[in-house]
A and B are shown apart, each in its own frame.
Chain A
Amino acid sequence: MARGDIKTTSDPDNGDKWPPIAAFSQTAHTTDSESSDTVKKPVSEETAKLKRPARASGKKRGVPEGLWQMCQGCQATIFRKEAEQLLNVCPQCGYHWYVSAADRITQLLDAGTFEEWNAHLEPTDPLGFIDKKPYADRLKAEQKRTGLRDAALTGTGMIRARRVAVGVTDSAFIMGSMGSVVGERLARLIERATLEKLPLIIISASGGGARMHEGILSLMQMAKVSAALALYSRSGGLYISVITNPTMGGVAASFASLGDLIFAEPRALIGFAGPRTIKATIRVELPKGFQTSEFLLEHGFIDRIVDRKDLKSEIARVIDYCRG
């Protein structure tokens, strides 16, 4: 990678094209930049030069927006383009970064084969929920920030020429949590996959579990989607659940755990109760690597840990075992 190119690869394209990533990396920058300066890694000459003007201009401390990103796995400052070429995986430690639902679909499906289903469903605010701000405002803000209407995309497409039904949740939208729209889109996806006898793939990235802001209706989406999966399974359907970082609470406790096959990306946080809740309840330090993909594999709850670059071919391969 030619370092000289850095200044020309730039903001406008990631600003418009990938709003979720831009938004995500922005928060990562503001919080991480200080520590990466001081402790974590020796900063190269070029990096140091790049940083100075940004700080002098008095706007944001740290590196120019979107060019560099600190890896949450190894704390190294990574040139974003390089990671992007590896499907948003850290080139140094292999930590799997955030991927938006749209990018995930691009990575997984054959080019140009995705057709979205039920895009016309929109969230509402059944409870009139207010915490620090009204849920209705939060929804608008999240929709604007991420370019999504809600936390899941569903539809159909081809994986190496095998037609599948596919659903993806996006952790950038209210923590990827499941409210009525996510539940309804997934239920419709599963029902259509049942009718059309399609293999089903759902990729979860839902640290938020069931969405609190829609109250009991969110909890019931767990039952609704699980019931739809039960009928799908009875009809002989093949469901591959892919769990990615992070997947917790009501999503982990429903569709993410119900796959005929369960794959997980390496080092993803997966669990029922959040680490903070557990710590507060039992008042002991949690063991290292607790609630990671590797922890779940060791305890027998997932079939395979699959690197992102292999996901497409691994899925195609197991589909052929079950449906070939």
Chain B
Amino acid sequence: MAKGLHRLSLERPIYECEDRIVELEGRTTSIDEQEELRRLRRDVVEMKKRIFRELSPWETVEVARHPDRPKTSDYLSLVFDEFVELHGDRSFGDDRAMLTGFAKLDQYKVLVVGHQKGKTLAERQACHFGCAHPEGYRKSMGKMRLAAKFGLPVICLIDTPGAYPGIGAEERGQSLVIADSMFLMATLPVPIVCVVIGEGGSGGALGIGLGDKIAVLEHAYYSVISPEGCAGILWKSADYKAEAAKSLRFRSKDLVEFDVIDSVIEEPLGGAHRDPRQMAVRLKTFLVRTLRELVAKPTNELLATRYTKFRQMGQVLERSPEGLKPSKP
């Protein structure tokens, strides 16, 4: 139960409690200790509920970045029945930070596109910690065109701190590929479902984030800029990341409030990393339900709805003789 190699400081009371439970369970106990065990088992549930209900914005970022949090590769084996990986952008290389391939989901054949962060240090480095290069977005665009040609719905799993900032990335057109990818996805004639499973970092996330339904896992975040980046620019020091995290309003409940996502997928008690299987079941349920709804729609209607969905995002005021009032396009 209390395995967890990586323990966040916010989880410490939970782990302490669970360690004690394990200790008590492992030996014949006195009546007092049995009473304690019962109490602890009850308390630990309450404690998890409370801690995860009251996560601060910065703590949410920590949970979203938890090393044990299920990644795209975990969901590929837990949610989908089969995965046929397709490599390469046919132009420069095969970006390991972007996984693409055919997959089966219930009765649906789909194309999956997802950021990949890697598990071991070597994998993480090969994936640049989930930061895709231009060839990653070229790869995803190429496979999406393929999906469109053969009528396969596209599922995008978003989990990136941001698109890679480096010399090669700039030389190969990082900004251009992100723009191009949104341009392509805006009119791609198949259903697109996007789920932010961990970090939704800025343009790197949005680069595979334009779809018919957008969902966010409960403790994931989706932001215009990383809290560290924001703190560095506006506070001139990354030490203010917690303040920046608070100001940016990027948690799932904020995203609902601002009308930029369709659904929040609830995480198991204590976060997705405590029970990846349960998380996968919930994700699968969401995906199947959403696909059922989307594949039934005629393409024209699908694309019109997709356009309107993004067209309505934003908040502006309209000046008129009566004064300023909120405007909707």
Contact = CB atoms under 8 A, between A and B. Distances in A.
Interface of A: 120-124, 126-127, 129-132, 179-181, 183-184, 187-188, 210-212, 214-224, 226-231, 233-234, 249-250, 252-258, 270-274, 277-278, 281-282, 284, 286-287, 290-291, 295, 299-301
7 contacts: A124-B316, A215-B254, A216-B260, A220-B314, A270-B175, A277-B229, A282-B165
Contacts of B191: none
A287 B167 contact: yes
B170 A229 contact: no
B198 to A, nearest CB: 16
B213 to A, nearest CB: 14
Interface of A is mostly: helix
A215 to B, nearest CB: 5
B203 A227 contact: no
A223 B165 contact: no
Q: Which 6 A-B pairs have the closest CB atoms?
A: A273-B165, A180-B314, A227-B186, A252-B175, A272-B174, A131-B234
Contacts of B223: 215-216, 219
Residue of B184, B225, B229, B254 with most chain A CB atoms under a 10 A cut-off: B225
A123 to B, nearest CB: 7
B75 interface: no
Given A183-B314, A224-B314, A229-B183, A271 B175 contact: yes
A290 to B, nearest CB: 7
Contact of B224 (A131, A216, A226, A299): A216
Contacts of A187: 311, 329
A258 B317 contact: no
Interface of B: 163, 165-167, 169-176, 178-180, 182-184, 186-187, 202-203, 206-207, 209-210, 222-225, 229-230, 233-235, 243-244, 247-250, 254-255, 258, 260, 306-307, 310-311, 313-320, 324, 326-327, 329
Contacts of A130: 247
B254 to A, nearest CB: 7
Given A132-B235, A258-B180, A273-B170, A219 B206 contact: yes
B320 A272 contact: no
B249 A215 contact: yes
A290 B225 CA distance: 23
B314 A230 contact: no
Contacts of A282: 165-167
Given A272-B169, A272-B175, A299-B173, A227 B182 contact: yes
A77 to B, nearest CB: 29
Contacts of A287: 167
A216 B250 CA distance: 7
A212 B243 CA distance: 13
B224 A219 contact: yes
A92 B222 CA distance: 47
Given A121-B316, A226-B183, A255-B179, A231 B248 contact: no
A127 B206 CA distance: 20
Nearest to B209: A223
A131 B169 contact: no
A257 B206 contact: no
Residue of A188, A216, A271 with most chain B CB atoms under a 10 A cut-off: A216
B173 to A, nearest CB: 5
B179 A253 contact: yes
Given A216-B255, A278-B166, A281-B165, 17 more contacts: A122-B317, A123-B316, A127-B248, A210-B224, A211-B224, A212-B234, A215-B224, A222-B179, A222-B182, A222-B206, A223-B310, A228-B311, A271-B175, A278-B167, A300-B173, A301-B173, A301-B176
Contact of A212 (B167, B176, B182, B230): B230
B186 A212 contact: no
Contact of A122 (B174, B247, B319): B319
Contacts of A258: 179-180, 183
Contacts of B202: 210, 219, 250
Contact of B307 (A221, A231, A256): A231
B76 to A, nearest CB: 26
B321 to A, nearest CB: 10
A273 B317 CA distance: 31
B182 A184 contact: no
Nearest to B308: A227
Contacts of B184: 230
Contacts of B247: 127, 129-131
B232 to A, nearest CB: 8
B167 A126 contact: no
Contacts of B307: 227, 231
Given A132-B234, A212-B225, A278 B170 contact: yes
Given A180-B315, A188-B329, A219-B202, A257 B179 contact: yes
A93 B260 CA distance: 47
B317 A123 contact: yes
A57 to B, nearest CB: 32
B316 to A, nearest CB: 5
Given A132-B235, A217-B260, A290 B180 contact: no
B46 to A, nearest CB: 32
A222 B225 CA distance: 13
B317 A291 contact: no
A291 B187 CA distance: 30
Contacts of B310: 220, 223-224, 227
Contacts of A229: 183
Residue of B229, B313, B314, B329 with most chain A CB atoms under a 10 A cut-off: B314
A179 B314 CA distance: 8
B214 to A, nearest CB: 10
Given A272-B170, A282-B166, A120 B186 contact: no
